[in-house]
Amino acid sequence: MGTIKQGILGGFNGKVGTVVGSSWKGEAYMRGLAQHVKNPKTEKQLEQRHKMDIAQKFMKQTLQFINLGLKDVAKKQSPFNYAVRQMVNNAIGDAPDYTIDYSKIVLSHGILTPPSVQIMYVNETDLDILWGDQNGHGNAKDDDVSITLFYNVEKQEVFFDLNGFIRSVGTSHVRLPDDWVGDHIHAWFAMRSADNKLITNSEYLGYYTLE
């Protein structure tokens, strides 16, 4: 309890309610009590932080891709922060496994008309992606360019190509690093306009073994 020595308007020593009174060199001082801080390491907070770590580690490797692919939807935050938030909220499961649903990862989002991807052929590190001709559908144009991204599960590495083949060709050929043979990959596909102003939503192409 605080003690008032000079009447109701004077200084005081000790705790009164939520404040503490003291004096130094004849001057009276008063400060508020420190707020009680809840444990910042609750189970739910630790789980959220672990999800953030997983998402940030993945997205840091995709920066060039998502800076192009998410520039139109990340209005009040960076494409990186937007992609991380989307991955944490939609693509990572709860503890203790934290399983990642790669099909729910968003790498690009836009209004460009996407092609209809028909099939992806894999021969060791050579990949061919085929799509139907959609020139003239919506805002699709012959010179739209394919962009692809691949994630190596074993090596936890990303490989991407932002300058693939034009829409009118109908196919995109990608050669992955030779030391990826025998590994497992997840694949994504999108298209951008020739001037980089428009982009399609990213499409998850699936999980493959390079053999």
pLDDT at residue 78 above 60? Answer: yes
What confidence score (pLDDT) does residue 37 get? 46
Helices assigned H by DSSP within 10-137? 43-60, 63-69, 79-90
Instruction: Name the pLDDT band for 137 (thresholds 50, 70, 90).
Output: confident
- Between CA 54 and CA 61, with CA 59 as vertex, the angle to 5 degrees is 115
pLDDT at residue 162 above 50? Answer: yes
Determine the number of helices (DSSP H) and then strands (DSSP E) in the chain: 3, 11
Spatial distance between the Cα atoms of 19 and 155, rounded to a whole number of angstroms: 57
What confidence score (pLDDT) does residue 6 get? 58
- Between CA 141 and CA 131, with CA 128 as vertex, the angle to 5 degrees is 35
Contact 142, 168 (CB under 8 A): yes
pLDDT at residue 168 above 50? Answer: yes
Pairing of β 203-209 and β 117-123: unpaired
Question: What's the rounded mean pLDDT across residues 163-190?
Answer: 97
- The proportion of the chain whose per-residue pLDDT surpasses 70, expressed as a percent, equals 81
My answer on whether omega of the bond before 96 falls inside 30° of 0, hence cis, is yes
pTM greater than 0.75 (yes/no): yes
What confidence score (pLDDT) does residue 3 get? 54
Spatial distance between the Cα atoms of 28 and 34, rounded to a whole number of angstroms: 19
Of 109, 210, 116, 208, nearest in space to 171 by CA: 116
Question: What's the rounded mean pLDDT across residues 172-181?
Answer: 97
Domains of the chain, earliest start first: 3-32 (no CATH), 38-106 (no CATH), 110-211 (2.60.40.10)
Instruction: Name the pLDDT band for 74 (thresholds 50, 70, 90).
Output: confident
